[in-house]
Chain A
Amino acid sequence: MSLVKLIKALRYVFVGAFFGIVLTKAEVVAWHKIRAMFYFQEPDLYLIIGSAVATAALLVALAKRFVPRTPFGEPVEVTPKPMHKGVFYGGFLFGVGWFITGTCPGPVYAQLGGGEFFAVFTLIGALAGVYVFAAVKPRLPD
Chain B
Amino acid sequence: MTNLLLNPWPWWLAGPLIGLTVGLLLVLGGRNLGVSSSFRHLCTLAFPKSRLPYLAHNDVRAKAWSLLFVLGLALGAFVAVRFLSYQPVEFLPAHYHSASGALKLLAGGFLVGFGTRWARGCTSGHAIMGLATFQKPSLYAVLSFFAGGLTAAGIALVLNGGLS
Interface residues of A (CB under 8 A from B): 9-32, 35, 38-39, 43-44, 47-60, 62-63, 67, 69-72, 74-84, 86-116, 118-119, 121-135, 137, 140
Contacts and interface: CB of A to CB of B under 8 A. Distances in A.
A14 B137 CA distance: 29
Majority-rule SS of A interface residues: helix
Task: Indicate the member of A79, A99, A118 with the most B CB atoms within 10 Å.
Answer: A99
Contacts of A134: 43, 50, 52-55
B128 interface: yes
A22 B157 CA distance: 31
Given A87-B126, A93-B118, A17 B76 contact: yes
Contacts of A113: 73-78, 81
A33 to B, nearest CB: 9
Interface of B: 8-9, 11-33, 35-36, 38-40, 42-43, 46-47, 50, 52-55, 64-65, 68-81, 84-85, 89-93, 96-97, 101-102, 104-138, 140-153, 156-157, 163
A24 B76 contact: yes
B109 A121 contact: yes
**Residue of B77, B85, B90, B153 with most partner-chain A CB within 10 A:** B77
